[in-house]
Amino acid sequence: MRFALSFLVLFLFAQQSYAHRLIVEAKPSFGSVKIEAYYFEDDTPAQNARVVLLKNDVVIQKGLTNDKGVCVLELNETGEISVRVESVGHAASTKFNSLAIVKSETPPEPVETHEAPQNKVSFTDLQKKVLEFPTWLRVALGFLVIGVFGGVGYAVLKRKRT
């Protein structure tokens, strides 16, 4: 009974939780848009997050955030542009009007990018590969990991009681 009640409370209030919420800000400038992605809890940058620009539900530009959670993409479109950012286990979106880009006269500020060495597989390379999986597969993998750890924890607790 306790498990069922805990399960019910978890799903009823899951949407209310913002502890690890992803925040996205789009800052248009001359010929480009600067997207910043960070986590709500402690302003940690969302590194290697997938960024997609959409106009009328059509992809017009794609990119990845750097180690500071920033992605600068070229933009020559006008009108309302949607920004969708996906990080491991998190997603967020925002919209902006690209007319501000045409009227702006300041050039975009340079953003430093650091690439991982090619001879080693780093955690960020693994993150990039996982982000290429379809969303349903990433969710299924998450449930699988939770199930495995939950099963192991249950088995350990059950063994201690006997």
**158 has which bridge partners?**
none
Q: What is the CA radius of gyration of the chain?
A: 20
Confirm or reject CATH 3.40.50.720 for domain 16-105, answering yes or no: no
Number of H helices, E strands in the chain: 4, 7
Asked whether 86 and 47 are in contact (CB, 8 A), the reply is: no
Say what the pLDDT of residue 19 is: 47
At 60, which amino acid appears? I
pLDDT digit string (tens) for 74-132?
Answer: 888 888 889 999 887 788 888 888 764 544 455 555 555 555 444 544 556 666 676 67
pLDDT digit string (tens) for 2-41?
Answer: 666 666 656 655 554 444 578 889 888 878 889 998 887 6
Task: Tell me the whole-structure pTM to 2 decimals.
Answer: 0.51
Give me the residue spans of the domains in the chain.
16-105, 132-162
